[in-house]
Amino acid sequence: MNPYLAGIGLGLVLLAAFVLVGRGLGASGAFNAIIAWAVNLMAPEHARSNEFIAGYLGDGSSSPLKSWLLFEVVGVFAGAMVSGLLAGRAKVTTEKGPRVSVRTRLAMAFAGGVLMAFGAALARGCTSGQALTGGALLNLGSWAFMMMVFAGAYAVAYFVRWQWR
Amino acid sequence: MAMMAPLLKYGVFGDEASLVVAFLIGIGFGFFLERAGFGSARKLVSQFYLNDLAVFKVMFTAIVTAMLGVTYLGWLGWLDLSLVYLVPTYLMPQVVGGLILGVGFVVGGYCPGTSVAATATGRVDGLIYVLGIFAGMFAFAELYPLLKGFYLSGSGEAMTLPGTFGLPYGVVVFAVVLMAVGGFYGAGLLEKKFAAAGE
Each residue's pLDDT tens digit, A35-46: 999 999 999 999
Q: Are both A120 and A66 inside the same structural domain?
A: no
Angle at CA of residue B25, ends A16 and B130, nearest 5°:
135
The interface pTM score, or ipTM, of the predicted complex is 0.97
Domain of residue A114, residue span: 96-165
Q: Are both A80 and A107 inside the same structural domain?
A: no
The residue of B101, B127, B185, B194 whose CB has the most chain A CBs within 10 angstroms, and thus the best one to mutate to test that interface, is B101
Of A19, A135, A152, the CB nearest to B99: A152
Please tell me the distance from the alpha carbon of residue A113 to that of residue A105, in angstroms, as a whole number.
Answer: 12
B30: which strand partners? none
State pLDDT tens for residues B119-131: 999 999 999 999 9
Compute φ and ψ for A116, nearest 5 degrees: -55, -45
Q: What is the mean pLDDT of chain B?
A: 95
Q: Whole-prediction pTM value?
A: 0.96
Q: Are both A101 and A150 inside the same structural domain?
A: yes
pLDDT score for A97: 94
Tell whether the model's pLDDT for residue B198 goes beyond 80. no
Q: Are both A106 and A50 inside the same structural domain?
A: no
Q: Are both A77 and A143 inside the same structural domain?
A: no
Q: Are both A47 and A6 inside the same structural domain?
A: yes
Tell whether the model's pLDDT for residue B156 goes beyond 80. yes
Q: Are both A10 and A38 inside the same structural domain?
A: yes
pLDDT score for B197: 54
CA distances for B59 relative to B64, B94, B126, B153, angstroms: 9, 19, 20, 28
Question: What's the whole-number mean pLDDT along residues A105-116?
Answer: 98
Domain spans of chain B, in order of start: 1-86+164-199, 87-159
Q: Which of residues 78-137 of B touch A (CB under 8 A)?
A: 79, 81, 83-91, 93-126, 128-137
State pLDDT tens for residues B93-151: 999 999 999 999 999 999 999 999 999 999 999 999 999 999 999 999 999 999 999 99
Q: What is the mean pLDDT of chain A?
A: 96
Residues of chain B above pLDDT 90, percent: 94
Closest Cα in chain B to A3: B58
**Bond into B6 cis (ω within 30):** yes
Of B25, B159, B172, the CB nearest to A17: B25
> Inter-chain contact A71–B116, Cβ cutoff 8 Å?
no
pLDDT score for B195: 79
Tell whether the model's pLDDT for residue A29 goes beyond 90. yes
Last residue in a domain, options A91, A120, A146: A91
pLDDT score for B84: 96
Q: Are both A73 and A111 inside the same structural domain?
A: no
Q: Are both A72 and A40 inside the same structural domain?
A: yes
Question: What's the whole-number mean pLDDT along residues A101-127?
Answer: 97
Q: Are both A23 and A59 inside the same structural domain?
A: yes
Confidence of residue B1 (pLDDT cuts 50, 70, 90): low
Per the document, the length of chain A is 165
Give the gap in angstroms from C-alpha A44 to the nearest C-alpha of chain B: 14
Q: Which of residues 84-103 of A touch B (CB under 8 A)?
A: 84-85, 87, 89-97, 102
Of B28, B84, B129, the CB nearest to A110: B129
Q: Are both A110 and A138 inside the same structural domain?
A: yes
> Inter-chain contact B22–A72, Cβ cutoff 8 Å?
yes
State pLDDT tens for residues A3-22: 999 999 999 999 999 999 99
Please tell me the distance from the alpha carbon of residue A137 to that of residue A139, in angstroms, as a whole number.
Answer: 5
Tell whether the model's pLDDT for residue B196 goes beyond 70. no
Of A11, A78, A161, the CB nearest to B49: A161
Last residue in a domain, options A75, A91, A107: A91
Of A122, A141, A150, the CB nearest to B151: A122
> Inter-chain contact B22–A69, Cβ cutoff 8 Å?
yes
Q: Name the domain count of chain A.
A: 2
> Inter-chain contact A113–B62, Cβ cutoff 8 Å?
no
pLDDT score for A59: 87
